[in-house]
Amino acid sequence: MVNNRFPIHCAVMGGNVELVKWLADKEDCPLAVRRDPKSGMLCSVQTSSRRTLVDLAMTGKPKIEILSFLIQKNLSVLDTKDPKLAPKTLETLLGAGFRFEKREGDPESFQLVESSDQMSVATLDDMVRLSRCLPCVFHEIDSPHTTILKS
Amino acid sequence: MGFGRIQVADQLSCRNPRSGHSSDGITNRRASCFDLVSMPTAQIRKRELHAFSVHYSMATSKWVATLARPTFESSDEKRRCTTFSFTTEREARKFGKAYSPPKMMTGATTCVCCALPFDSEQNKGPFHCRNCGSQVCDSCSTRWSIRMVPKTYLQHSSSASTVRACKSCAWLSNAFCLALLRGNYDDALRCHETGNVNLRCTFADISREAM
């Protein structure tokens, strides 16, 4: 089977965050080419086997630096070939000390910020609940200490 | 380089834990032919891109990049330009740099890769490498899928599914892909500095060779 990959895919697979940043920021390689017409979320460039960048970053040992970079570039954790990977991705990110915050001026969208506060990390129970109610979206974060997930 | 090889082997083993030692050995040996020490520097001719222009259109309030069409011997269609519009100037300039087609080399009497004259019996040619514009002989060129070169490098009306590329471009493409997969920043940048690597196109399938 032909497996066509773009350089950005190879860089994500290689796991060097500097290379990913070089391609995306300095050389302006597109991370996403279109938006999903229904949800309006960015769809990442795909390999010919329809794997997305988030998929590749989660393959093998999760590459947290690359993953957080991709999410900060407005790719969605839900943007994976297999939707079951989404809660795992979220757990990986939150477990590594990142949390989602409401973006100023746009209450519907969230941005990923690095957090030094250990309390803000979502518990595994939240993640289990999230995995049960797929497909689910982050709806609200009341305070830095609680994470509310709604299906 | 040794470190890079270990990394590739590590990735292999975590992806496919059952892969035996013998297959790893083959992978390492094959991967090494794309190490940068074996870069065919003398055969790589940095491609010269056609000039492109970027201007701001007041009518559409967008930045417009104007690219030249590639030149083909067979076509007698007049050289025209294609335009693409963007919201920011930076995007338009980066697009122009990535998609402006290379100038085709003219008047070469010997192959850029093997340096043999074209007029001899066994040396058919010259052919143009569509990726860098070098004139090479038949044996020094391979066929690339059209997806491996930017769309603007291709003839508009052509329905061919492959284009001719020279061996040094093929080597560079593979070496660049391998450097990315190994996470080797310096090697990847050195490949990019040659100017003949496309950052926005797919790679050939080298999964069986390298990964």
Q: Does domain A7-150 have CATH number 1.10.10?
A: no
A4 touches B: beta carbon within 8 Å: yes
pLDDT computed for residue B56 by the predictor: 93
Question: Residues of B with CB below 8 A from A6's CB?
Answer: 200-203
Residues of chain A with pLDDT under 50: 1, 107, 118-121, 123, 127-128, 130-151
- Look at the block and give the residue holding tokens 């040794």: B2
pLDDT in tens, B78-92: 667 888 998 989 989
Q: Specify the 3-state DSSP secondary structure of B37.
A: helix
pLDDT of residue A145: 39
CB-CB under 8 Å, B200 with A14: no
CB-based contact A10 B94, cutoff 8 Å: no
Return d(Cα B141, Cα B131) in angstroms, integer.
11
Chain B residue closest in CA terms to A15: B183
Interchain contact, B176 vs A7, CB within 8 Å: yes
Q: How far is B95 from chain A (nearest CA, A)?
A: 9
Give residue B25's pLDDT band: very low, low, confident or very high (50, 70, 90).
very low
Please tell me what DSSP assigns to residue B52. Answer: -
As to burial, measured by CB atoms within 10 angstroms (0-12 exposed, 13-18 middle, 19+ buried), residue A21 is: middle
Q: What is the Rg, in whole angstroms, of the alpha carbon atoms belonging to chain A?
A: 15
Measured between CA atoms, the residue of chain A closest to residue B11 is A60
Q: What is the pTM of this model?
A: 0.74
Judge whether residue B208 has pLDDT over 70: no
A26 at the B interface (CB within 8 A)?
A: no
| Terminal CA-CA length for chain A | 37
What residues of A are in contact with residue B98 (Cβ under 8 Å)?
27
Average pLDDT, chain B: 76
ipTM of the complex: 0.73
| Residue B65 confidence (pLDDT) | 92
**Which residue in A19, A27, A60 is closest to B183 by CB distance?**
A19
- Cα–Cα distance measured from residue B132 to residue B175, given in angstroms and rounded to the nearest whole number: 16
Per-residue pLDDT reduced to its tens digit, B149-191: 888 888 777 777 888 898 899 888 888 888 888 888 898 899 8
**Which residues of chain A make contact with B147, given a CB cutoff of 8 A?**
4
Chain B residues with CB-CB distance to A66 below 8 A: none
Within 10 angstroms of residue B97's Cβ, the number of other Cβ atoms is 14
Using DSSP, state whether B195 is helix, strand or coil: coil
Q: At what angle are helices A85-95 and A64-72 packed, to 10 degrees? A: 100
Q: Which residue has the tokens 């989660």?
A: A58
What is the rounded average pLDDT of the residues B34-39?
78
d(CA A78, CA A66): 16
Contact call for B94 and A27, based on CB within 8 A: yes
Chain B contacts of A3, Cβ < 8 Å? 205, 207
Q: Is A6 on the interface with B (CB under 8 A)?
A: yes
CA B24 to chain centre: 28
